[in-house]
Each structure stands twice: as structure tokens, then as C-alpha cells.
Amino acid sequence: MARFRNRKNKVFVKPIVKKNQQQQPNVDHITGNKIPKSFVFSRGKLPGPIRQLQMDLRKLMLPYTALNLKEKKRNNLKDFLNVAGPMGVTHFLILSKTETSPVLRVAKTPQGPTLTFKIQEYSLAVDIAQSQLRPRCPQDLFKNPPLIVLSGFAAGDEHLKLTTTVFKNIFPDIDINTVKLSSCQRIVCLNYNKDTKFIDFRHYSIRLQPVGVSRRIRKFVQNHQVPDLRNLQDVSDFVTKAGYGSESEADEEAATVTLTSDLSRVNRASTKSAVKLQEIGPRMTLQLTKIEGGLCSGEVMFSEYGNGGNKKKPDSEEDGDNDDEMKDSDEDNEGEDSEEDIGESEEDEED
Amino acid sequence: MTMEEVSVAAGKRKRNPGKKKGNKAKKKKLKMLVGKGKKFRVSKKMRNLFEKRARDYNSDDEEEKKENSAELATPNDIRRGGVGGDNSSEGSDDSEGEQEEEGGGEVQPGVMKFTEGVRAFRLAFKNIVKKSVANDSLGPVLSGHKQLIAKKLAEEEAERKVKGEAKKEKHLIAEKGHVKPANYLDSHEKFLIGIATKGVVKLFNAVNKAQKAQKGLDPSRSKDAKVIRKRRKEAFFSELGKTSLPAHGSSSKGRNEEGPAWAPLRDNYMLTNPKLKDWDKVGDSAIVDDVGRMSEESGSDDD
């Protein structure tokens, strides 16, 4: 157990500065709420891109997660549970792969509900960076936890409400009276689409840009690069030249914010700034398939296929076959199945 | 095939050293040269040495059992030819045979002059090279061996193919669901970014309002603390009335009760299960109202 503890602390230790080697606070001393911490790990051997996805998710959950968590084949859920207690870890994000698609489980320790999502599509952070013209990753982007925005969930049923609650609680709360805007640099957006029942998962970085300043001057001030004045008669031409605004500037009108304090040299207080988001991090399309009452066990509270749920065993892939087969068959009595599930889970935990 | 014939012919020649057989053209050429060559006398010691060398050299030949036929002079150059053991032995056999045919007292049987050995080798080599070697990847080998090698190669080929296909399938399964995003922002992405931006803007505006309101006030002074609390409550309720905050706003809704600014002094400090709040009181309807209000809010947002 001491092993784990050391690894978690190493997340924040830079080679030079040693003073950061303290335990993370368990309780936010401003809001008084418990800070949720998470483990992101995988069950079973995962192919390459999914391992990358796991790393991306870990970075997303920073700083309140174990970045260098190492798991062995013989670790099972019980081991993680045992470690989670003393370290104050509240959520598990478990990735696994079945024949059809990768699966993400979001579970609340120690006995919380488990939401099972099927990952229909995903894109890695590196893919997204490659697709962008100017990928952006400032130095301390991952120092602060992200904000979270959920949309489209309200119209849903109980299971969607539970989903919103779980996701809201994964990230620490912010107190709007004391929060510093400069510390809100990332945002996670979850959008539920009623028709397709898919949840879009996106992760953006927030950037504030002063508005009302012409582009050239802004770039000049930010980049400190001497502009090319060859073709101009006079400096006033440079300053006052009316250029065509870019398309996005028109949209910015709605997205402007007035700042209370100086965030940086260019974003000064009481001037308008525009909020610009750029996508970083993984992009996923999820489908909620199952909600279980226990931690990867227990009563099935909701199941997409209406079949009383056959618990996907976390350790082996073969049972994915079983699941698929049984989903096709008709099962009427949910109660019977949940008993079977509990039986199966007991067997598992004896591993 | 022809090489075998040559070697067979050479073998025959060896068995009947006295008889004149073999290629007449070769004989003629050799005859011409012999006169030019020097005489070479060997002592008995040297002869034994040459015999021994020849035996070692031709140790895999059957005909070698006849000792007097197996002598070679200057085998070094022939060995160094490096074309193949067969060729050199054939060459040497050839030349040997021819020498023996010459007979004659001047040149000892089984012992070659350097130049003649080289010439003979050259002739033999030329003959071999003249034959068109089959453009087979296996090269000039014996036919039985050839088939074996061909089979082996075919097997390896098949194995590789199967492995390659298995790998491809594995790769496909691994990549399932992995989608590379497009270079441009399509409309759906723009829509999602718009939603997130709206959320951020609302949050920032709310934060700005709240923080501006309490800019001049110090939370530790009790008088001011009251003012702060009051303002917060008002600001909150007004915000709630107007807009729907992103989910994080909900955390602050919990503060609509009176409470000290410092966390441990509040009633709900480290209270993980909100149901246990006010455990000594009857019921708490305030929380329920908040939740209801919040869901209304988000409902209105999505229309």
C-alpha cells in the first residue's frame, strides 16, 4: 500500500522543486466539501489506442487523480477498493474492451452506482492536435480541475438524472465567490442527444482574448514581433487599418465577458474579453448501456437492452460473447437475472 | 546435368589411366602447351606430400580410393577459385585425367604444373558458365534438394501470409471505434463548442458579479460579513431567476443558508451524505426545492 501512496504523490513533484511533495487535501477548505478523487484504470489487456485513451482520460482528470497508476494483471477490483479507502478516492473510471466496442464504466466507491457506457467512437488527444492548425497546450493547463457542462439531460428519465449527478460529482465544486477565473482553464462538455441516445463527450481549453482590439495590434502585443511596415507610409496606417474581421469575430459578440481583475497583460480588468475554446483531449461518443446499483455488481437499475442485464465480467473478454448471446434472448424477469449477477460477482471476487 | 557427365567422364578416365578418352579439343590444346612448359621433378617426399593433400582434398570422392589417381599438384589455386568444390574437383579431375593421358616420363602423373592447372580450371569454369543456369532462386543445386527447398519456401510463404492476415485482423479489432477527426470544424462540433462557450460565459459573468459585489468588503469583519451574505443571497437568486448556470453553479446554491464564512464552522462541514444533514431536525425541504428549481432551469435552457 505504501507503494501506491508514493506514486500518487509523485504526480506533482518536478525534479527540482521538492516542496510539492505533500498529501493532497481531502477536503476543500473553502467550500467544505470533500474533494472527489479518481482512479482511471483498465481491466484486461487493452490494445494500443485504448491505452492511449486511458492516458488521455487520466490527464483529463488531473490534478485529482493518479497519473502514474500502475496495475498488474492480478489486481482485481478488490485491490483497488482497498487502496481507494485510505487515499480518499471516490470514483473509478474503468476501461475495458469487448469484441464489439470499448466500454467505459464510471463507478462511485465504495458502494456507489456503476454506469456502463459503450464507447461508439473515440478520438485521441494526439489525433485532435494533429487535425488542428494551431494546437494549444499552455504549461499549467492541467494544474486545475476542469469545469463541467451538461446539456440535454434534463429531459430524460431517472437514469439520466443519475448520470448527471455522478458526473457533477466527479469534478470538485467551485465556489463562485472565491474562485479565480485564471484557474478555470479547462472545460468538459457532455451533451445528450435525445434521438440517437448518444452522449457526446468533449474537452476544451479556455482562452480569453481581448476584444475590440484590432487583430494586428493584438498580435503585435502578444507576440512581440516587429511587424512588417514596408508597404505602409506611416505608422498610423498600421494602427488604423480596417481589415476584414474573421468570421469568428462576429460570433464573439455573444461570448464576451467582462473581467473583474487582471488576468494577464492583455486581459485587463473592466475590459471586454472574448472567451475562446479550443478542443484538447479525447473526444468520445458514449451510449449508456447499464446502471448497476453496486460497484460493478448489484441490482441492475437500468439496462439499455431491457434484458435484466447480464453483468459484463471485468476480467475476461470471453464473457463478452455470453453477454451478446444472452442479450438476444428474451428475459422477462429482471429479478431472476439480478440474482444471477450477484452470484457471478461473488465468484469473481474470489480471484 | 552436363556437369555430372563431365565428372562421370573424368571418373572413367581415372579408372583407365592409360586409355585415351575425353575431349579431343582439350587434348590438343593441352598438347600444344605441354611443350612450352617446364619440366618438374619431384622427390619421393614431395610426392607423398602431394598424395596426402590430394587425398584430403578429394576425400568425398568414391574414385579416390585408387590412390595413384588422386594426386594433385598445386591444388591451392584451384581451391581458392571458390566456384565450388565440385567445379574445382572436376577441373582438377579433368586436368588430372588429361595429364595421365599424356603419360610421358617428363611429367609425373597426378602432379600439375601451375599454369596448366590454371588453364584447365579456366576451361572447366567456362564450360560451366556457358550453360545457362536456371533463373531459379534456388540456384544450381541438385534436383531432389531443389524440390525440398521449393517446398520449404512455399511453406514459409504460406505461413507468412496467414500470420499477416491474422495480424491485420487483430489490428482492425484494436482500432475499432477509433476515429480520426476531420480537419475542419463541422456543424455539430461548432454546436457543441457553442454550448460550452455559453456555459463558460454564464459562469464567468456570475463570478464577476459576485466578486465585484464583495470587492470592498472584508469577510472577517462581522458587520461586513452580514452584508456579504445578504448580497450573495440576492445575487444568487437573481441569477437563478434569469439564467441557468452550468452545473457548477449548483454547488453555490448550497450556500443560500446562513453560515459562517469559514468552512469548519458550518453545519454541513464534511457532510458527505446530505440526507444526514439536520439529523436532529425534522425534515429539510430546502434541498428538494433547489433540485427542483435546477432541473427546471436546465429544462428551459434546452428549448
Count Cβ atoms below 10 Å from residue B3 Cβ, excluding itself.
Answer: 16
Q: Residue B163: its pLDDT value, please?
A: 93
Contact across the interface for B181 and A127, Cβ inside 8 Å: yes
Predicted pLDDT of residue B171:
85
Q: What is the pLDDT of residues A102-158, one digit of tens each?
A: 888 898 887 888 889 888 888 888 888 888 888 777 777 888 888 888 888 876 677
Please check the confidence at residue B210 and state whether its pLDDT lies above 50: yes
Instruction: State the pLDDT at residue B132.
Output: 62
CA B215/CA B211 separation, integer angstroms: 6
Question: Is there a contact between A173 and B251 if contact means CB atoms under 8 Å apart?
Answer: yes
Give Cα A147 distance to the centre of its chain: 9
Query: Which distant-in-sequence residues (6+ apart) come within 8 Å of B282 by Cβ?
Result: none
Cα B163 to the center of its chain, rounded Å: 13
- A177 contacts chain B (CB < 8 A): yes
Q: How confident is the model at residue B162 (pLDDT cuts 50, 70, 90)?
A: very high
Looking at residue B225, its pLDDT comes to: 64
How many percent of chain A have pLDDT more than 90?
Answer: 1
d(CA A149, CA B59): 89
**B75 with B57: CB under 8 angstroms?**
yes
Provide Rg for chain B, Cα atoms.
52
As a whole number of angstroms, the distance between CA A328 and CA A153 comes to: 28
Pick the closest to residue A170 from A199, A135, A145, A197 (CA basis). Answer: A145
Rounded to whole angstroms, the Cα distance separating B162 from B170 reads: 12
Helix segments in chain A, DSSP class H: 2-9, 48-61, 77-87, 125-131, 158-170, 215-223, 235-240, 247-251, 318-328, 334-349
What's the pLDDT at B160? 93
Report CA A141 to chain centroid distance, whole Å.
14
Query: How long a stretch of residues is chain A?
Result: 351
A279 touches chain B (CB under 8 A): yes
How much is the CA Rg of chain A, to the nearest whole Å?
24
- Length of chain B equals 303
The C-alpha atoms of residue A294 and residue A301 are separated, in whole angstroms, by 10
pLDDT tens, A126-137? 888 888 888 777
Residue to substitute from A149, A200, A203, A246, interface B, most B β-carbons within 10 A: A149
**Which DSSP category does B137 fall into?**
T
Q: What confidence score (pLDDT) does residue B155 get?
A: 93
Amino acid identity of B33?
A: L
- Interface with B, mutate which of A151, A160, A262, A317 (most B CBs under 10 A): A151
All cell numbers assigned to A340: 444471477
Whether residue A258 and residue B302 make contact (CB cut-off 8 A), yes or no, is: no
Stretch 109-138 of chain A: residues touching chain B, C-beta under 8 Å = 119-124, 127-128, 131
Say which DSSP state B69 is in: G
Instruction: Give the closest residue to B206 by CA, choosing from A147, A166, A258.
Output: A258
Instruction: Please tell me the distance from the alpha carbon of residue A136 to that of residue A129, in angstroms, as a whole number.
Output: 8
Whose cell is 444533514? That residue is B277
